[in-house]
Chains A and B, each alone.
Chain A
Amino acid sequence: MSHHRHIPTLEEDHITLDELGPRTVRVAGAIGVVGLALAAAMGAARGDGFASFGWSYLLNFAFFLSVSLGAFFFVAIGHVMGVHWNVVARRLAEVVAANLVYLVVLMIPLLLLAGRVFPWATGHTETPAALLAIKAPYLNQTFFLVRWVVYFLIWCGYALWFWKRSLEQDETGAPQLSVRMSRKSGLALLLYALTLTFASYDLLMSLDPAWFSTIFGPYYFAGSVVAFAAALTVITFWLQSRGRLTKVIHTEHLHDYGKLLFAFVFFWAYLAFSQYMLIWYANIPEETAWFLRRQQNGWGWVGLLLLFFNFIVPFLGLLARSVKRHRRGLYFWAVWLLVMHWVDLYWIVMPEFHPETPLPDLLDLLTFVGIGGLYVAGIALRASGHSLVPRRDPRLDDSLGFENA
């Protein structure tokens, strides 16, 4: 029964990275640098002006960006709603969200290659020139750059602000900081919704300059939250298997990770169905062209992969309470959903680049390892030297003692 349960304290747990931090920065950083170097070399060897490199890079950038954007949401929605259960996990989310700062650096290659990657810039597209001319006030390289500066200013500004206030609270323990973070979160979420939506248009929807779908922003958002919930599970598992946070984050929290995953897997499917069904039903050529490309030359199998393995199977898999409370079971589904989120983005990006085959390229893997290595190094770098739990948050005790009925 509940009142006999032991409620963990921070003192009995290991809540800093210590030697794990620098080691992870070195190893992941080295993997990242080598991965990107190999990818760049391979991209150069292709002799296509880094176009294939750029596409793979874009795909994986969109993937890691979505993880950090999901973390941003997790932090802000928690503050705005005064959430208790997630306090023990919030520092991890703050770290991942603040990784947006390093994504600015990782965005630079994409900005440099924009003229060779985005079809509205290269002109390698079936979209008629007249239509491109209509869209040119939005789809042009200068405005693209300006928009990304704005997005990152907003994202990094808030993510760093949350990170710093949270660290400040580690020192002072002032409850007033929680109130301030809560007040800041409302506007943060509004700006987040706007910037994420336009970022998804810029990065993904505009790859077919003729195509448009008003649900596209929410679609990328839903995927982002799934990706972060999965990443949070993986990070927690990784830390716990190395003796960190083994008591502070317990089954009750994992159960809620699982619920979050489950809810947003369902939400993703709801949005994906809405988008597909409405376009299929109305059958207007300017909209169906996008899906048609994803139903030919074997791409239809990737779509079915998404239907079954990004919705039906994980939906059934995560349905049971026992799975969500089973550490390895939850870890399994988290890794699964991260892979499937990548497949989802692959299915969005690559049919625009190589519609003739759904098979991935080695460059996709190398850029994944490259960006991913640096991304992980960034997380470890930021987390080093700080508590992995907001140790003086006024709601921490509630979170430590949290229990699902």
Chain B
Amino acid sequence: MDATRAMEPLDNTLEDPTRPTPLVLGGHTLTSLTDKICAIAEKPRPPRAWYIAITASSSLTLVMFAMIGYLITTGVGVWGLNNPVGWGWAIVNFVFWVGIGHAGTLISAILFLLRQKWRTSINRFAEAMTIFAVICAGIFPGIHVGRVWVVAWIFPIPNYESMWPNFRSPLLWDVFAVGTYATVSLLFWYTGMVPDLATLRDRATTKVRAIVLGVLALGWRGSHRHWHRYEWAYLILAGLATPLVLSVHSVVSFDFATAQLPGWHTTIFPPYFVAGAIFSGFAMVGTLIVPIRKWFNLEDIITLHHLENINKVILATGTMVGFAYSTEFFIAWYSGNPNESFTFVNRAFGPYAWAYWTMVSCNVIVPQFFWSKKIRTTPWMAWILYIFVNIGMWFERFVITVTSLSRDFLPSSWAYYSPTFVDVLTFVGSFGLFFTLVLLFVRFGPIIAMAEVKTVMPVAALEGESKPIGDYHGDMHDEPRHLREKE
């Protein structure tokens, strides 16, 4: 459009404090951005790879449902639980998936309040991933109750026998915490998507698309009043969701920390779980976003600068997690309590030492590679590290849950826990569900928040009023009109 933008450097990872980092490359105009992102959802047929992927993932989903069917018809005896280890992979998988479900709302709420403009390229996708991860998480406590047909009893529903759940149990707090989180995340995701759904609706070429998208877009017309309400709703949802990002995993940590078991009961658990959740969530965002930006040619919108920032967050939160591990270890010694120190020595050198050192290597050592700028800005290198982080964070929950239980206060009752094939396949199958939902969203949804990305493009500053810095929400009330003029 003009010379300055044509000369824009392609490398936006250079540190230059004298000017803002360009967040969208490739000389996009507002229209070309809309075209590019909408095209992904508008193609009549997705690429062949998509069909292969969804076949694999939905088959895995079926495996999970088969395993759940087997579990329900046979009983929890099909799992590897034994006498001291009454909580096995079900709780491990639950905490793992809830943790992954933290990145989206952190990006959309906390990074919004912190005015981190780079969030706009990844927030939509991360929010979707959050919802899907929470769905996967919700399955495990649902099926681990034993008698699934009375699972509704975990909710405080008035009934003729006056049977109430135990309000003093952190497991019930979990029901509320995760339920609230899922609701608010869903609202947040959907509210943010409305303007983009309207864009897709306006471009719809078939009657079916126009009707479906028209219903979903809730009659959005892009008027000033709509934008005004939208900004307020977004800000309020961000404010409400911010404490939720902290509370969900804090409450999950209470499941363990309110107990009296060494290795479970320690006061740092709430913030430490939150840091770990953000850590694993960002690793999963990275795991998915690196191939997606490649396959859909989104490198000019999800740039290396975005990846670098994701990697910095992983480095920071991974180091916090390592900090929590060492704090626990030090205090276990400092407490002078033999049970405490035994638990931690047992973790590091006992029968589960392999799991412990897997956890430490993946969660503490691996993210340290992100001190290197080269690794931070090389997608394939970062992607390998994401995989390790995903593995490490699953092992963290395994180490916490199983090591403390398998060697409790009474040595005569100690037992080693091993999963059965049902445990393994249910967990693997949950990945199938997760990827199926991701693939469906990638195929049909606006995977990048177009309306938000446009507000951080240089063209926005050129066409709109010039603002040095500040909150970009609320700046671009006229934007839909720009769009309409162009189309």
Contact = CB atoms under 8 A, between A and B. Distances in A.
Q: Do A and B come from one complex?
A: yes
Interface of A: 1-3, 7, 82, 84-85, 131, 134-135, 138, 175, 178-179, 182, 186, 190, 193-194, 197, 201, 210, 212-218, 252, 266, 270-271, 274-275, 277-279, 281-284, 286, 393-395, 397-398, 401-405
B254 A278 contact: yes
A190 B336 contact: no
B159 interface: no
A7 B469 CA distance: 12
Contacts of B315: 186
**Which of B250, B266, B267, B337 has the most A CB atoms < 10 Å from its CB?**
B267
A264 to B, nearest CB: 13
B270 interface: yes
A201 B320 CA distance: 18
Interface stretch (B35-43, B198-206, B210-218, B255-263): B255-263
Contact of B17 (A82, A266, A404): A82
Given A3-B465, A194-B323, A278 B265 contact: yes
Nearest to A186: B371
A197 B327 contact: yes
Point out which of A7, A138, A214 has the most chain B C-beta atoms below 10 A from its C-beta: A214
Contact of B271 (A218, A393, A404): A218
B336 A214 contact: no
Contact of A214 (B17, B18, B327): B327
B363 to A, nearest CB: 15
Given A214-B328, A404-B470, A282 B17 contact: no
Contacts of A210: 336
B74 interface: no
Contacts of A3: 465-467
B267 A278 contact: yes
B485 interface: no
B287 to A, nearest CB: 24
B474 interface: yes
Contact of A213 (B258, B260, B267, B470): B267
A179 B15 contact: yes
A217 B327 contact: yes
A134 B323 CA distance: 23
Nearest to B268: A214
Contacts of B69: none
Interface string B428-468: 00000000000000000000000000000000000001111
Interface in B258-282: 258-260, 265-271
Contacts of B327: 197, 214, 217
A189 B327 CA distance: 16
B85 to A, nearest CB: 21
B243 interface: yes
B335 interface: yes
B265 A284 contact: yes
Contacts of B266: 214, 278
B468 A398 contact: yes
A401 B269 contact: no
B408 interface: no
Contact of A286 (B250, B337, B466): B337
B260 A84 contact: no
A7 B18 CA distance: 18
Contact of A402 (B259, B320, B470): B470
B328 A397 contact: no
Given A135-B336, A286-B337, A405-B473, A215 B259 contact: no
Contact of B267 (A197, A275, A393, A405): A275
Contacts of B265: 278, 282, 284
Contacts of B250: 270, 274
Contacts of A215: 267-268, 270-271
B267 A274 contact: yes
A210 B475 CA distance: 56
Interface in B312-353: 315, 319-320, 323-324, 327-328, 331, 334-337
Contacts of B471: 403-405
B472 interface: yes
Nearest to A181: B17
Contacts of B470: 2, 252, 402-405
A281 B258 contact: yes
B246 interface: yes
A403 B246 CA distance: 28
9 contacts: A3-B467, A175-B16, A182-B15, A212-B331, A213-B267, A270-B270, A282-B260, A402-B469, A403-B468
B171 to A, nearest CB: 13
Given A193-B323, A274-B267, A282-B265, A2 B467 contact: yes
Contacts of B268: 214-215, 218
A398 B15 contact: no
Contacts of A271: 270-271
A271 B274 CA distance: 12
A275 to B, nearest CB: 5
Contact of B260 (A178, A277, A284, A402): A284
A212 B332 CA distance: 9
Minimum-distance CB pairs A-B, first 3: A405-B471, A214-B268, A215-B267
Contacts of A216: 267
A84 to B, nearest CB: 5
